[in-house]
Amino acid sequence: MTRRVRLSRPSVSVAQSASGNSRLWQLTFEPTGQRVNDPLTGWCGSRDVARQVTLRFETRDQALHYARKHRLVVEELPVQTRAFRQRAYADNFAFRKVS
């Protein structure tokens, strides 16, 4: 049985202006099996431990090499980047603002 993984670069958090972990590539295992509800506690559980695992790599090639080595089927998600316009600090106080 071959496992399926998703290869992606996480997007920048909306709540923070720093780029943080958005430079790293991550492999996330797709869930297999069903979740089971515990009737006593109401908690949801699963026997699939890989669902909780996220592997991070510095480059895309390292992630693909790992996936090939462990015979994983890779689904590559498109990279989402944010457009950044560099402006001068003085533009905040300009009489005629340029958007």
Cα 30 from Cα 61, distance rounded (Å): 20
Looking at domain 4-93, which of 2.60.40, 2.40.10, 1.20.1070, 3.30.160 is its CATH number? 3.30.160
Distances (CA, A) of 95 to 57, 78, 85, 87, 98: 46, 40, 19, 15, 9
Predicted local confidence at residue 57, as pLDDT: 94
Helical H segments across the chain, by residue range: 60-69
Closest to 10 in 3D by CA, of 97, 83, 79: 79
Predicted local confidence at residue 20, as pLDDT: 64
Ranges under pLDDT 70 in the chain: 1, 13-21, 82, 97-99
Measured on CA atoms in the order 47, 51, 52, 55, is the torsion positive or negative? positive
Predicted local confidence at residue 18, as pLDDT: 64
Predicted local confidence at residue 45, as pLDDT: 86
Predicted local confidence at residue 56, as pLDDT: 94
Put simply, whether the predicted model's pTM sits higher than 0.95 gets the answer: no
Please tell me whether residue 32 adopts helix, strand or coil conformation: coil
Domain ranges of the chain: 4-93
